[in-house]
């Protein structure tokens, strides 16, 4: 039912605005779960699909976000649906103000291919809700300096933490001095590690964080 409504809404949008700026051909067969704050109990009377034009516009905008993310991250339909299900808030994030700059920054800062970036976001979607200036940049810089990581080593740690459910996003969103430094200090004391040995340990086994 929702798939039919989405397709109809895209058709209505095309009739009003002309060609959309985001292609939807990849999602022609996809069925996205309805956002948790939208409930459709019955089909409204008359020609309108929804009683409120604002509600209709909101659903169109939210699915355009998923279309844009799928194309930007080279995701198949199943992975796009998984992303929307695991992190429903992603439908409400601005493409221009948050999604695009955050993705561009992550790709450039860590040195990720489109495929690896897509895998990171699919497994750690809440990372897109973190501020680049206030959270991601200072925390990644702290981690890189504390563990003496060059660019290649930083990428290795990030990618090895990507499959850990919630691990990477939780780490990058935390206060490094309060949450991570005590762990690193404890590891060094218990295992008699110098800074270089600690760095090698984290690179090989990032789950110790």
Only one residue has tokens 């659903």, namely: 59
Looking at the whole model, is its pTM more than 0.75?
Answer: no
Residue 135 has which token pair? 């959270």
Measure the CA–CA gap between 4 and 118, rounded to whole angstroms: 28
Residue 48 has which token pair? 């309108």
Nearest to 120 by CA among 105, 139, 137: 105
Give 69-111 pLDDT, tens digit per residue: 999 999 999 999 999 998 999 999 999 999 999 999 999 999 9
Query: In whole angstroms, how far apart are CA 76 and each of 19, 28, 51, 70, 89?
Result: 23, 12, 33, 7, 20
Give 117-173 pLDDT, tens digit per residue: 999 999 899 999 999 999 999 999 999 999 999 999 999 999 888 877 667 888 888
Domains of the chain: 1-92 (no CATH), 94-209 (1.25.70.10)
């Amino acid at each position: 039912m929702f798939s039919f409504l989405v397709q109809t809404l895209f058709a209505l949008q095309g009739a009003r605005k002309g060609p959309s700026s985001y292609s939807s051909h990849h999602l022609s067969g996809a069925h996205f779960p309805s956002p948790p704050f939208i409930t459709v109990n019955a089909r409204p009377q008359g020609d309108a699909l929804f009683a409120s034009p604002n509600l209709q516009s909101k659903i169109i905008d939210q699915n355009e976000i998923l279309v844009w993310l799928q194309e930007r991250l080279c995701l198949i339909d199943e992975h796009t649906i998984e992303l929307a299900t695991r992190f429903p808030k992603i439908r409400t994030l601005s493409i221009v103000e948050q999604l695009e700059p955050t993705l561009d920054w992550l790709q450039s800062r860590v040195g990720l291919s489109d495929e690896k970036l897509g895998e990171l976001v699919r497994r750690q979607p809440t990372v897109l809700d973190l501020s680049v200036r206030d959270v991601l940049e200072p925390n990644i810089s702290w981690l890189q300096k504390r563990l003496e990581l060059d660019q290649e080593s930083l990428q290795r740690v990030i990618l090895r933490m990507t499959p850990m459910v919630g691990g990477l996003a939780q780490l990058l969103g935390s206060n490094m001095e309060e949450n991570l430094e005590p762990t690193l200090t404890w590891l060094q004391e218990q295992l008699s590690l110098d800074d270089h040995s600690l760095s090698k340990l984290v690179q090989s086994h990032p789950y110790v964080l």
